[in-house]
Amino acid sequence: MQASFVNFRQSLPRTIWDWLILIFLLFCALFFLMPIYVMVVTGLKQAENVSLSTMWHLPVHLSGGGFYEAWRRLYPNMGNSLQLTIPATILSSILGAINGYIFAKWKFRGANTLFAVLVFGMFIPYQSILIPLIQFLEQIKLYGTIGGLILVHVIYGLPICSLIFRNFFAGIPDELIEAARLDGAGVIRIFLLVMLPLALPAFVVVGIFQFTNIWNDFLFGVTILPNPSAQPVTVALNNLSGSFSVDWNVVMAGAVIVALPTALIYILLGRFFVRGLLAGSVKG
Amino acid sequence: MPTANLQVPRSRQTQAQSRRKRISSERILPPLILVPSMAAIITFVYIFILITIWVSLSRWGTLRIDWRPRDPLFEAYAQMFAMPRWHADLRNVFVFTVLFLSASIGFGLLLALLLDRRLLGFTLFRNIFLFPYALSFIVTGIAWRWIFNPETGINLLFDGLGINKWLVSIGGAPFKPGWTTDPAVLFSINDALGHVFPGVHNISVHLGIPMAMIPVVVAASWQLTGFAMSMYIAGLATVPNELREAARIDGATEFQVYTKVVLPLLRPVTVSTAIILGHVSLKIFDLIFAMTGVGPGFATDVPGIFVFDMTFKATRYNLGAAASIVMLLLVALVIVPYLWRNLRKN
Amino acid sequence: MHLKMRLCSPVVAFASFFALVPAPLSSQAAGEKKLEVFSWWTSGGEAAALDSLFATYKKQNPGIEIINATVAGGGGSAARPVLQTRLAGGNPPDTWQSHPGWEMLGQYVEPGYCEAITELYQSDGWDKAFPKGLVDLMTKDGKIYGVLAGVHRGNNLWFNKKLLEKNGITVGDKMTFDEFFAACDKLKAAGIPALGVGDSGIWASAQLFENTLLGVVGGQGWMDLFSGKMKWDDPKVKEAMKYFAKMQDYLNPDHSALSWDQAIGALIEGKVAFSSMGDWADGEFTKAGKKENVDFGWVSHPGTDGSFIIVADGFTLAKGAPHKDATIAWLKSIGSKEAQEAFNPLKGSIPARTDVDKSKFDNYHQWSMKSFASDTLLPSCVHGEAAPAAFQQALNDAVTAFIVDKNIDNFANALAQAAKESEATNK
């Protein structure tokens, strides 16, 4: 059953409890914003003025230098990250949708076992498969290419995407499938004509998940792409901090810059995120 | 819904024929469509796990690749379980998982319930609480390391707010915890365990709650509470209003509406969230690596970091592989019962 | 289950085939005019120094494109996984940054990832320009495998001169442990943490221990320890551990949350008085605009006068390097006087060659070069030269535990055990 959408009736605080709740939420919000404050404020300081002992102080001399330097060094890699994340997210979503659809609506013998085999894959620690992974990519000539990294992210994203879509499609009534079957539609046409049009909320959830995970990945990016001009922005951010000594204002400014795309997605699409979670992926 | 694409009635025989064709394609296509994904997963997950198991039993202990089996075969595992550092890791990952799950789920539920009151600023609060989830652990690890520095971080706040002056004036000591630099381990149960398991006396590591873990739990919860909160917000929206109304009509107070009606309905959400957050916490690496490293006396070391150190710093590939396999088993311990239960349900 | 089983066997066979057979080399055309240099010199002085090496190279070898493959992270912590997986996967960079000694010979040469470059040392007068002690650290079975660009000195004790003067402490040409602890006591009485350590990542504390160990066992004892002649539970080693434990009483309380450069920063600000650190610390003083022998000073770590712990940076030639000629030209270039005179002032180290123009260097580095020419040259353990990587990690782990529980017997036993294990592995 499709749940009704979130009711947006909001009210002003009425009772004393309401006021207390509001104040508590405000404190929580301040706590949540605290690290962001430290990062932004440090990014706006001049390099010489950055010191641990003054970490809470507002910048004495406002300096855009940190942000300017960080942007200058990061922006080529932002392009790499976009080149990596967008295709990988789209591919993951499509494959996840197809798999989720099959597992939700076309039960065959052994399907449940296969699904468990698939889902278990999302739980492995990535360090444990690094060496065989690199050797395999070398063999298929995809090592050191963004294509290889996309392949890796798509494959390791298959379990979670399939899981989310499968839970989502399970909530779509079987009657719709039946009706299409009676019209002569086969497995593939039902997917294209019936399921896909209804699947937007799930696509948004999966899209946000995958975009966040792939954008923020560091381990695969650094081991599979050794050439710095091809590396994603998280690796470039790590390289902003030197090996032996660090320009903290540039590093913190860089951290803020790297976080912006995902933050923007969350702010703009946060509502759909909750709606998507609503539509079935919540119930396990 | 029937479309305008009306089928011209054909003879029974051809109808049966096309039905048979369709049914057999319906039998073959679904598994067939899954083959590429399953093949990829089997290679990239299961085959690689098998290779890793082989490495853990091999002689590959330097940068020279050596696939020959080791003698004795399980030496890597024996060495690992004899290391005090590994004992500390197991203790830490357990403590971290328990504390982190309690904090994120508890706090996430609380925030979702409070936002459920639909007071002003729902969207703003939700965005603020969810926002950290979008950040990379490496990024936030650095910020939190600064914040928990005992000389300059939030301890300064206690000074600034006058709390310490007040504490001193009533004869107490100023509140200046060591946070990530504190090597103390509280509530050590070595003695108690020693009565039950005689081998415990050989363990030099204190089995308790390492104080340095607390800041790490705070940082990780800060990052993932928003996720738990979103799950609960979605879950709350599926609780039909009619149920709540009915309870109110039956005379329940607002508090009872929550405890007797809403919370029980949220149990599946709790399970899903616990599974997802649980497996994140068992594998955790980036955040701790960036924030505290192994910590004083290994107070914040976790298996994820152990694998990294043993594999790439000590170049003991077999030991690192053994640790990853144990990590995998720990995760499986949590996941497999859940998957099993779901399989049975379906 | 059947489906999985049926897919298993061919896939396993396929997988084990490529796992057991050494992976083919990179498919890059060997004739391309490129050179890939792998290091972890990513910012500040290091990056500038690396750029100067590139500039010298380009002057001597125009027309070759340099790929600067760097991965940041203290001590190469993020770079190592990349390098190791590339080497194991058969896709090596042309050349990479390496410390001499066990790191180069044990990790890279022994498994066959490097090619010998002995001929380079026979031309250009290199056999006279580079000290024998250094070259020996890169020699195996009579063949030489690397070229060093610069040498850092590890056993230095830096101090805030003004702070010491304020507390009536003077430091001479050398220092004994008694003098050191006397100074620490005076500072403690004045409420100042005497010794600044930033051991987030633990190696700074391991370095403090290493320097103290040298101060007690001396140069010959050092070589005996790492050749196995002296055992790690020897009474002299335990005495060094006692001193190390005593030093913990004088540390800044937030040491485990600071990185080494933040500890030097605390020294510059006058919050601590001493810091035992390699001479890459000198760059921090210069950055902060501090004057030698006015604001800050240095001396050999207590007991180590007459010894020079080497922390050197060199490059190797990969076996199967995609651009072999360009790489050999690179090694020739960094060994040249011109490159070393440009590189080292920026990097903060001293040239590995002894025949350079010393006037380009400041007081500290001239002092260091004098020490380099006359003192006993010893490999550092903490920086991967004196012992295999597994022992180095075991030392770090043992130091981590020791700082908290101060149990000398456990510490000594852990090191003795690690030495035994590494002997077995590296037979």
Query: Among partner residues C1, C85, C91, which is closest to A110 by beta-carbon distance?
Result: C1
**In the block, residue with structure tokens 């270039």:** C333
Kindly state whether residues C226 and C272 are assigned to the same domain. Answer: yes
pLDDT band per the 50, 70, 90 thresholds, residue C46: confident
Residue of chain C with shortest Cα separation from B319: C390
| CA A262 – CA A280 distance, rounded (Å) | 24
**What is the mean pLDDT of the segment spanning A43-53?**
71
* Whether pLDDT at B67 is above 90: no
What are the C-alpha distances in Å from A155 to residues A89, A149, B279, C248, C262? 11, 10, 19, 50, 42
**Does the beta carbon of A117 lie under 8 angstroms from any beta carbon of chain B?**
yes
CB contact under 8 A, C390 and B51: no
pLDDT confidence bin for C5, thresholds 50/70/90: very low
Same structural domain for residues C225 and C259?
yes
Looking from the CA of C66 toward its CB, the CA atoms found within 13 Å total 22
Q: Write the residue in B1, B41, B142 that is nearest to A179 by C-beta.
A: B1
C215 touches chain A (CB under 8 A): no
Q: Which residue among C82, C259, C261 sits closest to A226, beta carbon to beta carbon?
A: C82
- pLDDT of C100 over the 50 cut: yes
Predicted confidence at residue C115, as pLDDT, reads: 93
Closest C-alpha among A218, A261, A212 to residue A237? A218
Query: Residue A5 — very low, low, confident or very high, per pLDDT cuts 50/70/90?
Result: very low
| Cβ-defined contact of B133 to A18 (cutoff 8 Å) | no
Partner C contacted by A228 (CB < 8 A)? yes
Within C99-256, residue ranges assigned H as helices are: 102, 118-122, 126-129, 132-136, 161-166, 177-189, 203-227, 235-247
Label residues B9-40 b or e (16+ Cβ within 10 Å = b).
eeeeeeeeeeeeeeeeeeeebbbebbeebbeb
Q: C5 in a domain, yes or no? A: no
Has residue C6 been placed in a domain? Answer: no
Q: Which of A184-198, B177-191, C101-115 has the highest mean pLDDT?
A: C101-115
Of A210-214, B304-308, C70-74, C119-123, give the lowest mean pLDDT range.
C70-74
Q: In what helix (H) or strand (E) does residue A158 lie, and over which residues does it extend?
A: helix A146-170
The pLDDT tens digits of the residues spanning B120-146 come to: 778 888 888 988 888 888 778 878 888
Q: How confident is the model at residue C2 (pLDDT cuts 50, 70, 90)?
A: very low
User: Which candidate from B62, B183, B298 shows the least CB-CB separation from C425?
Assistant: B62
Chain C CB contacts of A239 under 8 Å are 42-43, 70-72
**Average pLDDT score, chain A:** 81
Residue C145's pLDDT is: 94
A110 touches C at CB < 8 Å: yes
Indicate yes or no: CB of C401 within 8 angstroms of CB of B47.
no
B252-282: pLDDT as tens digits: 887 788 888 888 888 888 888 888 888 888 8
Q: Which domain holds residue C364?
A: 34-150+311-373
Neighbours of B261 (CB within 10 A): 18
Look at B37 and A8 and tell me if their CB atoms are within 8 Å. Answer: no
- Claim to verify: residue C304 and residue C330 sit in the same structural domain: no
Separation of alpha carbons A150 and A82, rounded Å: 11
Q: Which chains touch C (3 or more CB pairs under 8 A)?
A: A, B
Residue C320 touches chain A, beta carbons under 8 Å? no
pLDDT, residue C311, reads 93
Answer yes or no: do C404 and B296 touch at CB < 8 A: yes
Q: What residue of B is the nearest CA neighbor of C389?
A: B314
List, as one string, the DSSP characters of A14-58. Answer: -SHHHHHHHHHHHHHHHHHHHHHHHHHHHHTS-GGG--GGGTTSP
Q: Per the CB < 8 Å rule, is C3 touching B311?
A: no
Q: Which residues lie below 8 Å from residue B246, measured CB to CB, with a gap of 6+?
A: none
Per-residue pLDDT at B242 exceeds 60: yes
Q: Is A111 on the interface with C (CB under 8 A)?
A: no
- Other CB atoms within a 10 A radius of the CB of residue B262 amount to 17
Residues of C in contact with B181 (CB under 8 A): 253-257
pLDDT over 90 percentage in chain B = 21
Residue B60 pLDDT > 90: no
Tens-place pLDDT, residues A221-260: 877 887 777 888 888 887 776 545 567 788 888 888 888 8
Considering only CB atoms, B328 lies closest to which of A125, A188, A259, namely: A125
pLDDT value for C309 = 94
Mean pLDDT over each residue of chain B, to the nearest integer = 83
Q: What is the ipTM of this complex?
A: 0.81
Provide the shortest C-alpha distance from residue B60 to chain C (in Å).
Answer: 9
Phi and psi, residue C97, nearest 5°: -75, 135
Contact C257 B308 (CB under 8 A): no
What confidence category does residue C242 fall into, taking pLDDT thresholds of 50, 70 and 90?
very high
Nearest to C1 among A113, A135, A228 (CB): A113
Partners of C67 on chain A (C-beta within 8 Å) are 227
pLDDT of residue B161: 75
Distance of residue A262 Cα from the nearest chain B Cα, in angstroms: 6
Higher pLDDT: A277 or C230? It is C230
Chain C, window 264-283: residues with a beta carbon less than 8 angstroms from a chain B beta carbon: none
* pLDDT value of position B300: 92
Comparing alpha-carbon positions, the chain A residue that sits nearest to B239 is: A3
User: For C347-360, what is the mean pLDDT?
Assistant: 87
Q: Which domains are present in chain B?
A: 87-302 (1.10.3720.10)
**pTM (2 decimals)?**
0.84
Chain B interface, mutation test: which of A27, A114, A124, A231, most B Cβ atoms within 10 Å? A124
Distances (CA, A) of A112 to A37, A104, A158, B329, B340: 48, 10, 16, 21, 10
**Per-residue confidence at A8, pLDDT binned at 50, 70, 90?**
low
Q: Residue C277: inside a domain, yes or no?
A: yes
C contacts of A223 (beta carbons < 8 Å): 81-82, 85
Shared domain for C194 and C337, answered yes or no, is: no
Average pLDDT over residues A200-225: 84
Assess if residue C76 is contained within a domain: yes
Same domain, C264 and C279: yes
When pLDDT is cut at 50, 70 and 90, the band that residue C180 belongs to is very high
Q: Contacts of residue B39 in chain C, CB cutoff 8 Å? A: 7, 11
Per-residue pLDDT at C43 = 65
Looking at the domain assignment, is residue C16 inside a domain?
A: no
Same domain, C329 and C284: no
Distance from C-alpha of A238 to C-alpha of A221, rounded to nearest angstrom: 11
Q: Which of A52, A53, A223 sits opposite C82 (nearest CB)?
A: A223
Q: Which residue has the higher pLDDT, B24 or C263?
A: C263
What is the per-residue pLDDT for C26? 36
Q: What is the CATH classification number for the domain harbouring C130?
A: 3.40.190.10
Per-residue HEC secondary structure of A56-95 comes to: CCCCCCCCCHHHHHHHHHHHHHHHHHHHHHHHHHHHHHHH
pLDDT value at residue B10: 58
Residues C353 and C284 in one domain: no
Q: What's the pLDDT band for C24 if we cut at 50, 70, 90?
A: very low
Four-CA torsion A29, A34, A37, A42, nearest 10 degrees: -170
Q: pLDDT confidence of C4, banded at 50, 70, 90?
A: very low
Averaged pLDDT, C27-46: 73
Structural domain ending residue among the three candidates C373, C390, C405 = C373
Q: What confidence score (pLDDT) does residue C304 get?
A: 93
In contact, B77 and B319? CB cutoff 8 Å: no
**Cβ atoms within 10 A of the Cβ of B113, count?**
18
Count of domains observed in chain C: 2
**C321 shares its domain with C292:** no
- Predicted confidence band at A53 (pLDDT cuts at 50, 70, 90)? low
Rounded CA-CA distance A236/A230 in Å is 10
Whether C317 and C300 map to the same domain: the answer is no
Res A29 pLDDT > 50:
yes
Residues of B in contact with C421 (CB under 8 A): 79
Q: What number is the average pLDDT over the span A18-44?
A: 87
Q: Nearest to residue B216, comparing CAs of B96, B315, B116?
A: B96
CA dihedral C228, C234, C236, C238 (to 10 degrees): 120
Size of interface A-C (CB pairs under 8 A): 117
List strand residue ranges (DSSP E) for C277-379, in order. 296-300, 307-316, 350-351, 376-379
Query: Minimal Cα–Cα distance from B193 to chain A, Å?
Result: 31
* pLDDT value at B315 more than 60: yes
Looking at the structure, tell me whether residues C404 and C288 fall in a common domain. yes
| Residue A91: pLDDT band with limits 50, 70, 90 | very high
- Sketch out chain A's domains with CATH numbers: 65-281 (1.10.3720.10)
Which pairs with CB-CB distance under 8 Å and at least 24 residues apart come from C114-119? C114/C145, C114/C146, C114/C316, C114/C317, C114/C318, C114/C319, C115/C145, C115/C317, C115/C318, C115/C319, C115/C321, C116/C143, C116/C144, C116/C145, C117/C144, C117/C145, C117/C146, C117/C147, C117/C317, C117/C328, C117/C331, C118/C142, C118/C143, C118/C144
Radius of gyration of chain C (CA): 23
A144 touches chain C (CB under 8 A): yes
Across the interface, do C106 and B148 touch by the CB < 8 Å criterion? no
Q: Taking all residues of chain C, what is their mean pLDDT, rounded to a whole number? A: 85
> Do A130 and C81 lie within an 8 Å CB cutoff?
yes
Work out the percent of chain C whose per-residue pLDDT is above 70.
91
Evaluate if residue B117 carries a pLDDT over 60.
Answer: yes
Question: Phi and psi of A168, rounded to 5°?
Answer: -65, -50
Tell me the nearest-neighbour CA distance from A171 into chain B, angstroms: 13
Q: Are residues C303 and C316 both part of a single domain? A: no
In a domain, C4, yes or no: no
Neighbours of B303 (CB within 10 A): 24
Give a yes or no: residue C315 inside a domain. Answer: yes
Say if residue C110 is in the same domain as residue C212: no
Lowest mean pLDDT among A76-90, B243-257, C100-114, C129-143: B243-257
In a domain, C27, yes or no: no
